[in-house]
């Protein structure tokens, strides 16, 4: 009954609009549903969101400017169906419909990031939202185009570092920002120049912030009650949450009427603290080469060819009290080739190939997985069939993945090896091979000029990751001794979603439901035993104080290798995810300015079908309402975002209280010295409410930010 009532509330929020409002039709500046989406959701070219079968969204322009945060996860958090993993201000990865880590694919210009963010919640995504021109999101399975680890969805950060269109003259953008609850000082500049034939792109950015200010205690009331006597109880700030990052890129392309070819080099550096380890900092560096090109109107059966290649060298060092503890490295590449064929009857389509290889290692006391090499090759086909008011699409994909471990004590320092007395933590080298498959079918039906119905169904298989197969060590970010299972089979899912969309002049809305059933869903589960950092089972008491949700333990002895950790074992279970997403924008006044009403809602329910227990860290019912006003050069906004109490929790976690946040924004556009400027200010959490993100592992020691006002200036020339 509770599930039905919550879904009913969400649907009502998106569809409770007066009929008179729906009836208005007139030409206005395109809104989000009119934005063209690139290959992220449609491999045949750009399409309006309204016409896509896949549930997709785009963040760009002023909407992106006002939403930019220090991490990709927090920038997108609050969009329908999206949350952030929020491991403090320095690391937050997008969570889509309750799925995260290796089930959400993070791309940069259509090519995988190849960082280590999917391995651990305290590992940041190697991109800063400051440099993004736009961010595209596909909610639900996108495995057909990007492989089984896109079963939850895809996030594509687009920055045009390899220019794809001719540039004549000089264009660019500049955006300084300052303020907020962490006293942020950041800025980015981008310049593109060309002669119509050759185009150059240059960008640079930097960010500095202090420890994040919060309302009241950093540690929740229940955490403080469980803390040992003498535990520090910081107030009004999250210790060790300051961060800095910088980076830039240089790229160039040769462009012509029917295509382009280009190359770019980019670098990303970040240094941030861990909110659960006061003396631990993460120093991250990533360097990347991108090569991309396209040929259009080739002639004959092949109508067009697209090629993308990215090679990344990634390293981050976990530094404890100035001493390097563990060094994570990832070296790899990803390439894609897409061949668009000439129309065959009424069919339009393409075939594609994808190649990935990455070598990973973690050297040090907290290297809980061995050195590994993962190689993947994929072949996919996609076809579209327009039939009157119908637009159908279908596709299939097959991959071949191999995962090899170095085994032995390759990642374990000599001191630990001697403590293991001849039994290396990771055992003998191992190799596993998988052949995951994916099939999908989608349809869009135009009910009228105003309404359309979109539906998708997909079958997806995902190969286990190297951590799920070979982990065997202490993972301090989760406060667990994690143990993999090299005998896992592929994870399989059957997904379905359907959405009703409306677009009428300045009004747009959508409401949809989704269902995803998994077989062999790989998840961590407590084994009931404890281990010391060397791996020995222990009957001693757990010296880790409960962080409040059972999935995260916060150390009270900060780095002592003899600490006792609860053992968590990767297990394959049956699982079910279902939910609803709704959003709408409606013009309620257009005299003396334009006033729009914005509504949004989402709800996810995730269940371990073997045990009947809810799966952990699932966002609660969320509702949002806002007003956006525009008059001449001025714009202003006011939003309320409510998250319900999460009382549907697994046996190993605790409930999270409800909260409501009020946010406001103000903008002013002007032109000076040939530059189009927009001054903006954003005030978040106006009433300084304590709020804890149920999705976060560290919610009981690191609440969401307190009140803060951030101001900035954006210039386009």
What pLDDT does 19 receive?
Answer: 35
What pLDDT does 346 receive?
Answer: 87
Determine the average pLDDT of the residues in 545-563. 39
**CA distances, 541 to each of 276, 289, 565 (Å):** 20, 49, 9
Is pLDDT above 50 for 173? yes
Determine the average pLDDT of the residues in 161-176. 95
| Residue 289 CB neighbour total at 10 angstroms | 14
Which residue matches tokens 């000076």? 672
Which phi and psi (to 5°) does residue 467 adopt?
-70, -40
Determine the average pLDDT of the residues in 64-74. 94
Sign of CA dihedral 63, 82, 709, 592: positive
What pLDDT does 17 receive?
Answer: 34
Please indicate whether residue 560 or residue 357 has the higher confidence score (pLDDT).
357
Is pLDDT above 70 for 683? yes
Contacts of 579 (CB under 8 A, 6+ apart): 7, 81, 97, 98, 513, 514, 602, 603, 604, 605
**What is the number of structural domains in the chain?**
1
Tokens of 643: 């998250």
Q: Which of 25-29, 207-211, 459-463, 689-693 has the lowest mean pLDDT?
A: 25-29
Please indicate whether residue 5 or residue 25 has the higher confidence score (pLDDT).
5
Q: Which of 207-211, 464-468, 552-556, 691-695 has the lowest mean pLDDT?
A: 552-556
Ordered DSSP codes for 622-680: EEEEEEEEEETTEEEEEEEEEE--B----TT---B--EEEEEEEEEEEEEETTEEEEEE
* pLDDT tens digits, one per residue of 408-435: 554 444 333 333 333 357 878 899 999 9
Beta bridge pairs of residue 624 = 600, 641
What pLDDT does 299 receive?
Answer: 81
Contact 637, 627 (CB under 8 A): yes
Determine the average pLDDT of the residues in 220-244. 93
Beta bridge pairs of residue 307 = 293, 337
Q: Which of 396-405, 489-498, 528-537 has the lowest mean pLDDT?
A: 528-537
Beta bridge pairs of residue 295 = 259, 305
The secondary structure of 484-498, three-state, reads: CCCCCCCEEEEEEEE
Q: Which burial class, exposed, middle or buried, applies to 396 when counting CB atoms under 10 A from its CB (0-12, 13-18, 19+)?
A: middle
Sign of CA dihedral 641, 642, 646, 648: negative
Is pLDDT above 70 for 476? yes
Q: Which stretch of DSSP H or E encloses residue 582?
A: strand 564-589
pLDDT band at 36 (very low <50, low <70, confident <90, very high): low
CA R_g for the chain = 25
**What rounded mean pLDDT belongs to the chain?**
87
Please indicate whether residue 550 or residue 122 has the higher confidence score (pLDDT).
122
Query: In sequence order, which ranges of 424-484 are alpha helices (DSSP H)?
Result: 466-470
What pLDDT does 546 receive?
Answer: 38
What pLDDT does 37 receive?
Answer: 64
Which one, of 214, 275, 292, 213, lies nearest residue 240 by Cα? 275
Is pLDDT above 70 for 466? yes
What pLDDT does 131 receive?
Answer: 93
Tokens of 307: 């090629």
CA dihedral 99, 102, 103, 109 (to 10 degrees): 110
Q: What is the CATH number of the domain that holds 203?
A: 2.40.170.20
Is pLDDT above 80 for 93? yes
Is pLDDT above 60 for 22? no
Please indicate whether residue 347 or residue 3 has the higher confidence score (pLDDT).
347
Tokens of 336: 């894609």
Is pLDDT above 90 for 481? no
Is pLDDT above 90 for 537? no
Tokens of 486: 């090299």
Which one, of 645, 474, 654, lies nearest residue 564 by Cα? 474
Determine the average pLDDT of the residues in 203-212. 96
Residues of the domain holding 356: 2-716
Is pLDDT above 70 for 393? yes
Is pLDDT above 50 for 327? yes
Contact 463, 490 (CB under 8 A): yes
What pLDDT does 652 receive?
Answer: 76
| 523: DSSP letter | E
Q: Cα–Cα distance between 700 and 49 in angstroms, integer? A: 38
What pLDDT does 411 receive?
Answer: 46
* pLDDT tens digits, one per residue of 615-630: 999 999 999 999 999 9
Is pLDDT above 50 for 27? no
Q: Which of 224-228, 241-245, 320-324, 531-535 has the lowest mean pLDDT?
A: 531-535
| 212: DSSP letter | P
Tokens of 512: 């949809």
Is pLDDT above 70 for 167? yes
Is pLDDT above 90 for 366? no
What pLDDT does 577 receive?
Answer: 98
Please indicate whether residue 78 or residue 246 has the higher confidence score (pLDDT).
246
Beta bridge pairs of residue 281 = 273, 319
* pLDDT tens digits, one per residue of 435-446: 999 999 999 999
Q: Whats the size of the chain, residue-wise? A: 717
pTM for the structure as a whole: 0.89
Percentage of residues in the chain having pLDDT higher than 90: 70
């Amino acid at each position: 009954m509770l599930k039905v009532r919550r879904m009913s509330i969400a649907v009502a929020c998106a569809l409770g609009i007066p009929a008179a409002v729906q009836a208005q039709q007139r030409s206005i500046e395109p809104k989000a549903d009119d934005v063209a989406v690139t290959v992220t959701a449609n491999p045949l070219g750009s399409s309006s969101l309204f016409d896509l079968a896949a549930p997709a969204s785009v963040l760009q322009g002023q909407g992106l400017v006002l939403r930019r945060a220090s991490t990709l996860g927090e920038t997108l958090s609050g969009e329908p169906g999206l949350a952030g993993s929020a491991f403090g201000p320095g690391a937050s990865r997008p969570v889509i419909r309750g799925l995260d880590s290796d089930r959400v694919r993070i791309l940069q210009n259509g090519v995988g990031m190849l960082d280590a963010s999917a391995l651990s919640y305290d590992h940041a995504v190697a991109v800063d939202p400051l440099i993004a021109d736009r961010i595209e999101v596909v909610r639900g399975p996108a495995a057909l185009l990007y492989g089984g680890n896109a079963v939850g969805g895809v996030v594509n950060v687009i920055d045009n570092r390899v220019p794809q269109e001719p540039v004549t003259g000089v264009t660019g953008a500049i955006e300084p920002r300052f303020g907020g609850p962490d006293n942020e000082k950041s800025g980015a500049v981008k310049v593109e120049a060309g002669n119509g034939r050759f185009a150059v792109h240059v960008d640079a950015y930097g960010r500095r912030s202090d420890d994040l200010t919060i309302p009241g205690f950093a540690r929740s009331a229940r955490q403080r009650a469980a803390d040992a006597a003498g535990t520090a109880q910081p107030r009004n700030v999250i210790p060790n949450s300051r961060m800095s990052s910088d980076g830039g890129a240089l790229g160039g392309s040769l462009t012509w009427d029917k295509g382009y070819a280009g190359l770019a080099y980019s670098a990303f550096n970040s240094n941030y603290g861990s909110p659960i380890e006061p003396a631990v900092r993460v120093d991250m560096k990533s360097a990347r080469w991108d090569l991309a090109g396209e040929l259009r109107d080739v002639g004959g059966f092949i109508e067009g060819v697209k090629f993308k290649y990215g090679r990344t060298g990634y390293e981050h060092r976990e530094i404890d009290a100035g001493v390097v503890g563990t060094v994570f490295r990832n070296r790899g590449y990803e390439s894609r080739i897409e061949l668009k064929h000439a129309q065959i009857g009424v069919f339009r389509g393409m075939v594609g190939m994808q190649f990935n290889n990455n070598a990973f290692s973690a050297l040090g006391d907290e290297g809980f997985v061995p050195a590994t090499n993962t190689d993947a090759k994929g072949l996919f086909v996609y076809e579209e069939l327009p039939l009157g008011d119908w637009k159908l699409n279908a596709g299939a994909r097959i991959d071949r993945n191999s995962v090899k471990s170095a085994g032995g004590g390759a990642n374990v320092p000599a001191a630990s090896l001697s403590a293991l007395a001849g039994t290396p933590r990771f055992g003998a080298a191992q190799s596993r091979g998988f052949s995951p498959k994916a099939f999908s079918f989608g349809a869009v039906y135009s009910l009228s000029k105003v309404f359309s119905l979109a539906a998708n169904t997909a079958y997806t298989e995902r190969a286990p990751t190297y951590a799920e197969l070979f982990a065997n060590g202490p993972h301090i970010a989760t406060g667990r001794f994690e143990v993999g299972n090299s005998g896992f089979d592929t994870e399989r899912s059957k997904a379905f979603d359907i959405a009703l969309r409306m677009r009428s002049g300045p009004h747009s809305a959508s409401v949809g439901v989704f269902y995803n059933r998994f077989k062999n869903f790989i998840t961590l589960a407590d084994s009931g035993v404890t281990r010391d950092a060397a791996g020995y089972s222990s009957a001693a008491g757990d010296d880790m104080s409960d962080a409040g949700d059972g999935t995260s333990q916060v150390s009270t002895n900060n780095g002592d290798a003899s600490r006792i950790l609860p053992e968590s074992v990767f297990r394959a279970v049956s699982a079910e995810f279902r939910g609803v997403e709704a959003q709408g924008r409606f013009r309620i006044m257009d005299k003396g300015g334009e006033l729009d009403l914005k509504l949004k809602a989402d709800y996810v329910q995730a269940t371990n079908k073997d045990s009947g227990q809810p799966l952990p860290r699932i966002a609660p019912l969320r509702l949002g309402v806002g007003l956006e006003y525009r008059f001449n050069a001025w714009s202003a906004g006011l939003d309320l975002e409510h998250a319900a109490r999460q009382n549907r929790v697994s046996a190993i976690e605790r409930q999270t209280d409800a909260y409501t946040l009020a946010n406001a924004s103000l903008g002013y556009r002007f032109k000076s010295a040939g530059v189009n400027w927009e001054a903006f200010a954003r005030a978040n959490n106006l009433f300084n409410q304590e709020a804890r993100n149920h999705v976060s592992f560290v919610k009981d020691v690191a609440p969401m930010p307190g009140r803060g006002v951030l101001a900035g200036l954006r210039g386009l020339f």
